[in-house]
Amino acid sequence: MPVTIAAIQMCSGTDPVRNVETMRRLVREAAARGAVYVQTPEMTGALQRDRTGLRAILRQEEDDLVVAAAAQLAAELGIHVHVGSTAIALADGKVANRGLLFGPDGARICAYDKIHMFDVDLDNGESWRESAVYSPGAVARMADLPFARLGFAICYDVRFPELFKTQAQAGAQIISVPAAFTRQTGEAHWEILLRARAIENGVYIVAAAQGGVHEDGRETFGHSMIVDPWGRVLASAGGTGEAVVLAEIDIAAVKAAHDKIPNLRNGRAFTLEAPGDHPVKGGVAA
């Protein structure tokens, strides 16, 4: 049966308390409008470039304000609440960029640590070294909702199609892409990447985003959106500020897309003969 899902757009600042209050308000609005699954953006708890400032607000998962609020909201509203990600202190002193899914009873169903680190130098002079702060995950995750199998990705993961294909081949029908895309990269690639991942894998893509100019000085692209398995944008937000993006989805559309374009079944094993003395295995130079 069709269900309503939501992506929450935020413009998180540096104070987790204020960000949690914003999250509470927007998740409750989404639930009041019929959403049974609500996703928040990457770094819901705080966007903080300053490493000293970030570490001052870090908590381990059991003490984190966003985690506690999401669990409480899920139980209060009887829905699935998916914290797209928030910064979590690890026992070894490192930091995880962690997404967490909570069920209608408030229990944590699944957690996913972002695998691919955003280490880039942009044309406009921005330089990002996510790996200098965050410890990359090494395990892809999926979880079963009552109406669909959900796969997990976060932001920069969207540029690694093998992650999405692997999950789709394992039965994912929805794949989440919460993000804090920079304005420059978002303008160039955000929508086309989301639609491509949906089309390639015949899945719904749900992408809750940060949008606007943040307290720490960065500017994110926004345009949270929900894309269907045929690559059509069902709903989207503007580029700045808060929004609740809702769409009614029917998981039968996933099978319909796979029946029309059965590329996940039609793939064939092959070898690559590369010039020179640089053998390639699994897409990575040996």
Query: Which residues are marked as active site?
Result: 42, 114, 155
CA–CA distances in Å: residue 177 to residues 31, 135, 216, 249: 20, 19, 23, 17
Q: What is the per-residue DSSP string for 17-46?
A: HHHHHHHHHHHHHHHHTT-SEEEPPTT-S-
Q: What is the per-residue DSSP string for 183-223?
A: HHHHHHHHHHHHHHHHHHHT-EEEE-BBEEE-TTS-EEE--
**C-alpha R_g of the chain:** 18
CA–CA distances in Å: residue 217 to residues 17, 22, 182, 212, 214: 19, 19, 11, 10, 5
Q: How far apart are CA 40 and CA 224, in angstroms?
A: 10
